[in-house]
Structure 1
Amino acid sequence: MMSVLSSPIPPLPEYLPPATETPVDDTARTPLTADGLLGPVVTQFRTVRCGCWLLNYRPAGSRRVVYDGTLRVECHNAGRTASGDLYQRTVRMLTLPPIDPIPPLVPIPPFDPVPVPPGPVEIPTSMEDFGPLMPILSGAPNPASGIPILRRSRYRYYVRVTSLPELFYRGTGFTLGFELWRYTAPNSWALESTVSARMIRMAAPTGYPSPSDYAEGDVKSATGSVVGRLTMGWLSPHYRRCSVEIDTVNGSEQPTTDSAGHTWQSVMDELGWQVDVRLSDTNVAEPSGDSWSDAEMHAAMLARRDVVNLDREWRYHVLAVKNIDSTPRGIMYDAAGTDSNNVPREGIGIASHWTIDSGWGTVSGQRFGTALAPYFRTAIHEIGHAMGLVHNFADFGFMCTSDVIAAAGTPSNPFPNNIQWSYHTDNLKQLRHYPDPFVRPGAVAFGGASSTTPAITPTDLEVDVDGLALVVTPLLGEVPIGAPVRVGIALVNRSAQPMRVPADLALKGDFVSGEVIDPTGNRRSFRTVVRCIEDHAFAMLQPGESIEDSMTLMRGAEGALFAVPGVHEVRVEVHWDAEDMIAHVEGRATVMVTGATDADHAAAAHAVLATPDAHLVLAIGGDHLTDGIAAIQTALACPVLRPHFAAVEAKRVGRRFGHRKPDVKAVAALIDDDAVMSGTELGKLAAIVQNDAKAGAAAKGLAKTLKSKAKKVTLSNAARKNVDAL
C-alpha cells in the first residue's frame, strides 16, 4: 500500500520503548537427539547491535533498481533510536560490439583496400546504428571498507525506524518497521511508504567485521504484500564518519585541544562519529596583511584546502587566520551553496589574534589563539554549524555562544571553566539521526535542517510575538529582469512594553532569512552566503522604537530569485530564541520584474542569471571569481542594468584584494545619481571613502552623492554611522 504525505522535513525517529517481540516460527528451535527423540527446547536471546549497519534494499519488480545505505542504531537509557539513509546504485549502459562472423577455416589472401571517396563521414543517427546496449549495475559498497560514503546525487530515502527489538529478542529473527521518506533536491520530502520486514539472522558474507551480526528479510506493506528484500550487516560502533582538515597562517594556532584532555577525537567519540583530523598547511600566505577580507578568506579556502571529492569523503575545512575584517571571531562560507561549485557548508574560518573582550572571566584581554579552551570550543561550535546545527541556548553546550557562556560565569566558576564540553541532547539526536543531506557537506543549505522538525522542534514551539511587526519595503517597486532586488526591513515595537529582540538584522547573522515566490508559485529561499558566527547580540526594543537594515537579493540555494518577469512576493522572517520557544516575526512585500527591453538587455540578464559566481561577487567581492566578474561586467555594459550593478562593482574595486589596493577613484566613476544601492551597500561605500584620504576631489564628490542617497534608503545604525562620518 503506497501513501504520500508531503512534509518540509521528515520527523526524526522517536525513542522506541521496550516491547516484547511476538513469537513466530523462527524464534525457537527444538532439536532432535541422535535417537530421534525430541531434545530440550533451546531459546536464544539476541540483540540488534548498536552502531552503524550496512543496508541493501531491492524493491520488487526491477532487478536493476537497488539502494545501498546505512542504518544507525543508538542505544541509551531512554530506549533505542534508529534511522538510516538509502542511495540508489548507479546503472551504466554499455554498448556491446556486434558479433563477428565465424572466421574462415583457410586464410584469405591479402587484398588492396578500396580508397575512401571524399566527402562527409557518415555518423550514426539512431541507437539501431550501434551494437546492443547492456545495462550494468554498479557494485555494492564493500563492508570491509567501513562506513560507506555514497554520492550526494544518488540520495533517495530517509529511513525512519518505527519499531525494532528494544533490548532482546528470542531466536533468529526480529521485526523491523520503518517509513521511507523520499527526498527531492534541494530540500523536499514526502512520506512514500510505511513497511516492515521480518529479518532473519544468518552468517554474513565475506568482508563484514562481525559475521554473526547480519540479517535478511522480505519487506512487506501494511496489507502483507512483499514489496522488496532488505539485508543489513553491522559495520562499526560509530554512526557516521568524517574528516576535519585544519589550515593556518604562520603564527595562528591550530585549534586541536583545550589542554585538559578534550580533543577532536574525544568530542567526536561522544558524538558517535568516526573522525580523521588532518593538520594540513601551517604556512598559508597572508594576501594583504594580518586581517583578511571575506573575499580573501574565500579565495584562500578554495586554493589551500586539499582537493576532495565530497562524494567520497565528508570533509570539513577549518582555516585559522590572525584577524577577519567583518567579524572578530569567525565566519562560515558557502552557507547556501550559491557559488560556482554549489557546495554549502564546506567549512569555516576563525581569527586567532582577536583580543578577548573584558568580562570573559580569566581569559579577558588575552589573544584568542592562546586561550586554548575557548579557542578550541569555538572551532567545535563552528564545525557544528557546518554540520547543519543552529545555536542552542538550552544549556552551555557546544552550540551555545561563547559570549552567553562568558556572561554566565561566576567568581567561583568563571569562564572558561564553566564551558560544558558536550552537545545538548537535542543536538546529539540531530547529528546522529538527521538525514545525511542535513549534515554532510555539500548537500542541504545551512538552516534547511532546522526549519521545522516535528520530533525535535515542532512548529508549535514557534510563536508569533504580539506587538512586534516586520516592515519590508522594496527600494524599487519595479526592476528589470537580471537586476538584484534591494529591500529595507524594520522591526518595530508597536506594543506598550519593552521587548528583547536581536540587536542586528543584517543578513550575515543568525536571525534573518526568507523566500521569494515567483509568478508561477515556485518558492526559492535565501540566506547569507558568508555567515558571521559567534556574534549574538540582543537589545531591549522600547515601545515605538525600531531596528532597521537592508539587503540585496539575487540568488538562493535553489537558483536565481527573480528569473522570470512578473510580480514576485518577497517574504522575510526574523526568528530568535525566547525562553524555551522560538520567537518569529514575518513581513512581506511585492516587486514587479519587467521583461527584457532589447537583445542586449536579454543577453546581459542571461549572463548574470546563469552565473552563480555573480551572486558571490555581490556578496563578498574579490578578484578570484572571474566568471562572476565577467557576468557583472556584461551587466555594466548594458544601459538598463548598469545602474543596478554599479554599487556591486564599486564595493569590489573599493576594497583591497591581495596586492591590489582599494581604488576610490574607480568607485567614484561608477557611482552617479542613477546608481541603485541599498542602505547596507551605501554604508559600506561610505566606509571605503573614509579609509582613503588620498582620493581628494573624487572622494568629496562621492561623499556628496552618498549623503544625498542616504535620505532615500533604510540605514542600519552601523551604516548611518559611516554616512554621518563623511
Structure 2
Amino acid sequence: MYKSAQSPLDRPEFAVHLLWLSKSNRPGLLGVMFDIGDDLPRQGLAVFADEIANNVAPDALPRKLIQTAVHEIGHALNLAHRFEREVGRADSTSFMNYDWRYAGGGRTSAFWQNFAYQFDSDEIAFLRHAPLPQIVPGGAPFRSVRYWADGNGGYSPYVPEQPLPGYKLELLGPPQFIFEFGQPVLLGISLTNQTRRRLDLPTSVLDPKAGLLEILIRRVQPGRPPEGPPASFVPITTRCFDISGDGLQRLEPGESIEDNLQLTFGAAGFPFAEPGLYDVTAVLVFYDSSRGIDFLAPSNTLRLRVAYPANSKAERVAHDVLLRPDVGRWFTLGAPTRLKEVGKELTELVAQSKAQDAVAANIERTAMFGFARGKTTQKQVIGHAQKVSSTLSQVFDVITAKQTEEFIKGLLPKTKQ
C-alpha cells in the first residue's frame, strides 16, 4: 500500500487505494477496508479475486467482483453494513449487504434476483448531502455517523429484538479485572452450545471485524445512572467474508469455542484512555427473516477498572508513548514490520524498566508475535517468549494466556532442531 500509492495517505481527499489481489491467509475473506487513524484512514482497500472466483459460479463472477469492489469503496466513503443490528436492514439489496446474510441467510439466490447495482435511499442521501469530513476518505472515523437513523431512508431502522436461548456467550477479564493506565486491553471470549442440537457457525463468529459480533463499551460513573447508550467498538479493519468460503465450524451440544478480543485501539482511538470504570458487553446477532426479528445472544457484562497512574513517571510514559495512535496500531496489528521503529521504542522502555509490569508483558507478547512473522532468528523470538511466559497468569485472562502459552510451546521444538 505504501509503495504503490500515487498520492499521500495522511490527509483527507477523494482518493482510495485498492489492491486487487488473489487471496489472503484467511479462507473466505473477500475484501478488507483499513481504517487506521492518520495512517490509512478509510483510504486503503483490498479485494481478493481468486477467493471470490472459488466461491461463485463462473457466470456469476463478474457481478460478484463488481459488488465486492463497490462494497469496499462504500466502506471507504463511511457506509456501514446493512445487516448490522443498529442499521437494521438485513433485507436490503444494497451494495453494502452480503448476499449470504440477506434476509437472515440462506437466500443468496433471492438477493441476486433483486440486486439492482444500487445503494439504498438513505445511503444515497448521505453520499450526496453529508458534510465533506463525514464522507471523504481520511475524514471522520468509520461508522462515526449514524446516517441510517436520520429519516432519509423512508423506514425505521429499529428491528425487534429477542433473546436467543442456548447460546452462552462469556467475556473473561484479567485477574482482578484491573488494567494499568495505558495497558493494552485484551479480553477472552467463549461461546458454548447449550442447546440440544448441533450448531453450524461461521469460523469468524467471534471476530468483531467480521460483523456478527458487536462489542459495547460504556463508561461508568459510580453512584450515577448510565448516560446514553453504550458505544460500539469499531475495529481499525473491516473484514468482509463469504460464509461458503469462510466455512462452518460444528459445535455439538456442550462444546465451546473461544478466542481473545483486542480492544486496545479502534477506528475512533483508544476506548479505555481514561482511568475509571467501564462496562463491556459482547452481543452475537442473528437475523430471522421469517419473523423480522434480530435474535441476540448477549454475554455477561464485564466491569473493568483502568487504574490511575501509579506515579508521575507512569503517567508521562502513558501519555507520551502508550496512548499515541501509532503505538495503538502497533499493539492492534501485532507489531507490523512497517512500525518497527515503534517496536524498538517500546522494547527500549522495557529494557530501561520504564514500563509497568503488565504493560511490559504486553509489549513482550506483541513483539514475540511480530518477530515470529518476520525474518528474524528463533533466538530473538524465544527471548521475548521467555520474558512473557512467566507473567501470563498474572496479566492476561485465561483464554489469552492459554493461547499465548500454546504459541510459545509451538516455538520451542524449532529451537532444538
TM-score (norm 1): 0.45
Of residues 265, 287, 296, the one that matches 1:584 is 296
Aligned to 1:513: 214
Tell me the equivalent position of 1:379. Answer: 69
Candidates 352, 376, 390, aligned match of 2:81: 390
The yes-or-no answer on 1:648 pairing with 2:358 is no
| 2:347 is the counterpart of 1:347 | no
Shift of 1:532: 1.7
1:254-333 matches, cutoff 5 A:
300-301=1-2, 304-307=5-8, 311=12, 313-326=13-26, 328-333=29-34
Q: What does the per-residue CA deviation read over 1:350-393, in whole Å, with 9 as the maximum and x for residues that have no partner? A: 224447336x22369xxxxxx54432332112112223131455
Higher relative contact order (CA 8 A, sep 6+): 2
The amino acid of 2:137's aligned partner reads P
Q: RMSD over aligned Cα, in angstroms?
A: 4.1
Consecutive unaligned residues of structure 2, counting only runs of 5 or more, are 84-89
**How far is the alpha carbon of 1:333 from its aligned partner?**
0.5
Q: 1:430 to 1:466 in 2, by over 3 A?
A: farther
Secondary structure at the counterpart of residue 16 of structure 2: strand
* Paired amino acid for 1:584: L
Q: Could you tell me which amino acid in structure 1 is paired with residue 383 of structure 2?
A: A
Flag the 1:353–1:512 CA change in 2: closer, same or farther, 3 A. Answer: same
The equivalent residue for 2:262 is 552
Whether contact under 8 Å (2:283, 2:296) holds in the other structure is yes
- Contact 1:604/1:631 (CA < 8 Å) preserved in 2? no
Displacement after TM superposition at 1:426 (Å): 4.8
2:169 counterpart letter in structure 1: L
Question: Structure 1 residue 688: deviation in Å?
Answer: 8.8
Structure 1: where are the runs of 5+ without partners? 1-299, 365-370, 700-726
Deviation at 1:453, TM superposition (A): 1.5
Q: State the shift of 1:648 in Å.
A: 1.1
Partner of 1:3: none
8 Å CA contact 1:505–1:512 kept in 2: the answer is yes
Q: Deviations over 1:241-282 (max 9, x none)?
A: xxxxxxxxxxxxxxxxxxxxxxxxxxxxxxxxxxxxxxxxxx
Number of the residue aligned with 1:445: 141
Q: Contact 1:665–1:695 at 8 Å: present in 2 too? A: no
What secondary structure is seen at the aligned counterpart in 2 of 1:423? coil
Q: Secondary structure at the match of 2:42?
A: coil
User: Larger Cα Rg: Structure 1 or Structure 2?
Assistant: 1
Return the alpha-carbon distance in structure 1 between the equivalents of residues 280 and 49 of structure 2: 39
Relative to structure 1, the CA distance from residue 529 to residue 617 in structure 2 (aligned partners, 3 Å threshold; closer, same or farther) is: same
How far does residue 479 in structure 1 lie from its aligned partner after superposition? 2.2
Name the CA distance, whole Å, in 2 between partners of 1:694 and 1:355.
Answer: 37
| Distance in 1 between residues matched to 2:286 and 2:215, nearest whole Å | 14
Deviation string, structure 1 residues 435-473 (Cα, Å, up to 9, x no partner): 345533233433344597263574641513242443222
Aligned pairs for 1:98-117 within 5 A:
none
Aligned to 1:612: 325
Q: Separation in 2 of the partners of 1:459 and 1:329? A: 27
Question: SS at the partner of 1:624?
Answer: helix
Is residue 502–residue 511 contact of structure 1 (8 Å, CA) maintained in 2? no
**Residues 615/310 of structure 1: CA separation in 2 closer, same or farther (3 Å cut):** closer
What are the equivalent positions in structure 2 for 1:39-50 lying under 5 Å apart? none
Tell me what 1:78 maps to.
none
SS of the counterpart of 2:315? helix
Distance 1:545 1:639 in 2: 38
As a proportion of its length, which structure holds more helix?
A: 2
How do 1:403-482 residues align onto structure 2 when only pairs under 5 Å count?
Answer: 420-423=115-118, 425-426=120-121, 428-429=123-124, 431-432=126-127, 435-436=130-131, 437-449=133-145, 453=149, 455=151, 456=153, 458=156, 460-467=158-165, 468-476=167-175, 477-482=177-182
Mark the CA change 1:650 to 1:497 in structure 2 (over 3 Å): closer, same or farther.
same
Alignment CA distance shift 1:473-1:693 (3 Å): closer
Q: Secondary structure at the match of 1:331?
A: strand
Distance (whole Å) between structure 1 residues aligned to residue 160 and residue 143 of structure 2: 15
Shift of 1:474: 0.8
Identity %: 19
One-letter amino acid of the counterpart of residue 375, structure 1: L
String of CA shifts for 1:17-45, please: whole Å, max 9, x gaps.
Answer: xxxxxxxxxxxxxxxxxxxxxxxxxxxxx
State the alpha-carbon separation in 1 of the partners of residues 192 and 30 from structure 2. 30
1:505 Cα deviation (Å)? Answer: 1.0
Can you list the C-alpha shifts for 1:664-697, whole angstroms capped at 9, x where unaligned? 432221122214556468658856976x898323
Number of aligned residues: 378
State the alpha-carbon separation in 2 of the partners of residues 428 and 565 from structure 1.
37
2:192 and 2:254 in contact (8 A); partners too: yes
CA contact (8 A) 2:201 2:249 kept: yes
* CA distance in 2: counterparts of 1:304 and 1:652, whole angstroms: 24
Shift of 1:606: 2.7
Contact conserved, 1:524 with 1:556, CA < 8 A, in 2?
A: no
Instruction: Give 2:159's aligned amino acid.
Output: L
Quote how far apart the aligned CAs of 1:499 are: 7.0
Give the TM-score normalised by structure 2. 0.73
Distance between the aligned counterparts of 2:274 and 2:377, measured in 1? 35
